[in-house]
Homo-oligomer: A and B are copies of this chain.
Amino acid sequence: MENKRQKKQSDRATISDVARLAGVSKTTISRYLSGKYHMLSDSTLNRIEKVIAELNYRPNKMARGLKRDRSYLIGMVIADITNPFSTAILRGAEDVCKQRGYSLMVCNTDNDPAKEREYIFMLQSHRIDGLIINTTGRNNKFLQELATEKTAVVLVDRKVPELGFDTVTLDNEQAMAAGVNHLLARGYKHIALFSESIAGVSSREERVRTFQNMLSDREVSAEVHEIDLRELREFSLLLDEFFQKAPKGKRAVFAANGVILLKTIHLIQEKGIEIGKDVAVLGFDDMEWAPLIGPGITTLAQPTYEMGVTAMKRVLERIDGDRSPAQNIAFSGQLLVRGSAPEVRD
């Protein structure tokens, strides 16, 4: 009953349909699709365009990808997609990606190495041309493998030096130093730093190390606490302890990232302690809510959008054949002074 095109799997127009209707060969259409317009006569070009519009033809990237051994797909593996820090990076990466004709495959690992592994596997199957990853650091074998093959890999936020990949990060030493110096200059004598699980996450390690180095030989009491956010009760107790021993006037709480900062503020407010008066608060990541809470929260802003843009550009350069040694690109953090850590008198 059907005509002879019944063999086709879907109703989508293919390059052959276009060729037939335009009265030329597939090769010619392919040339058009690859932008080799100088090889086409004006009349064929016009005809092709008309047919394509008529048929609503969309070149099949799977077929093209199979043939050219390129997928035009970039993988983006993110530890926590609901963290605004991550989405800001994503947004930067996405803008560049689109502009260059690539598409983004987004994966959310929840900081789980097993999930990360499954995603890398999946991305390999899709033959992604590049990968931007905010890695748990515990799938290095897999990552190495990816890079050995065809894929350009760029690490964001977290480095893994052994891997020899390009990295785009914050200059955590500079940023932490800016934060610590601010607190010192304002007269704080008791500073507690809170961070999520530190080991293996380079950004956290750098922040903590800098904090400790700067404060070790001073007349300032410094402490570092590792927090498990699933155990808020423990976190709360730790804060109580700190508030008990550190005198009201000169104590400051330092949050190593935006997620911890939010939880810290939550707990402090719950205890009826007033931010900026009873305790100073300072944290990494400048979230949209920072100016609105209490007297405004002083933060260390990261240029997240630019980090995303830069990471994607680096990936695309690698895809385009750049074989130069790995680059480590670090951005400066910016201290945004608000009311949560006011000057204190002796």
Contact = CB atoms under 8 A, between A and B. Distances in A.
A253 B124 CA distance: 50
A240 interface: no
A62 B66 contact: yes
A106 B104 contact: yes
A12 B126 contact: no
Contact of A108 (B65, B91, B289): B91
Given A90-B81, A98-B119, A269-B292, A126 B10 contact: no
Interface in A34-62: 56, 58-62
B291 A266 contact: yes
B126 A61 contact: yes
A172 interface: no
Contacts of A82: 84, 87-88, 91
A110 to B, nearest CB: 9
Given A94-B108, A98-B107, A122-B103, A62 B56 contact: no
Interface in A98-124: 98, 101, 103-108, 115, 118-119, 121-124
A342 B77 CA distance: 44
A105 B107 CA distance: 9
A318 interface: no
A339 to B, nearest CB: 12
A127 B62 CA distance: 8
B149 A10 contact: yes
Contacts of A71: 62
A293 B287 CA distance: 13
A262 interface: yes
B56 A66 contact: no
Interface string A3-17: 000000111100000
A322 interface: no
A237 to B, nearest CB: 21
B121 A58 contact: yes
A165 to B, nearest CB: 19
11 contacts: A11-B149, A12-B127, A58-B121, A61-B127, A81-B91, A82-B87, A91-B108, A103-B123, A104-B106, A104-B107, A288-B289
Q: Which 6 A-B pairs have the closest CB atoms?
A: A289-B289, A9-B69, A106-B106, A58-B124, A62-B65, A62-B62
Given A91-B108, A105-B105, A262-B288, 14 more contacts: A10-B150, A58-B121, A60-B66, A60-B127, A62-B126, A63-B66, A81-B87, A81-B91, A81-B94, A82-B91, A90-B106, A103-B122, A103-B123, A287-B289
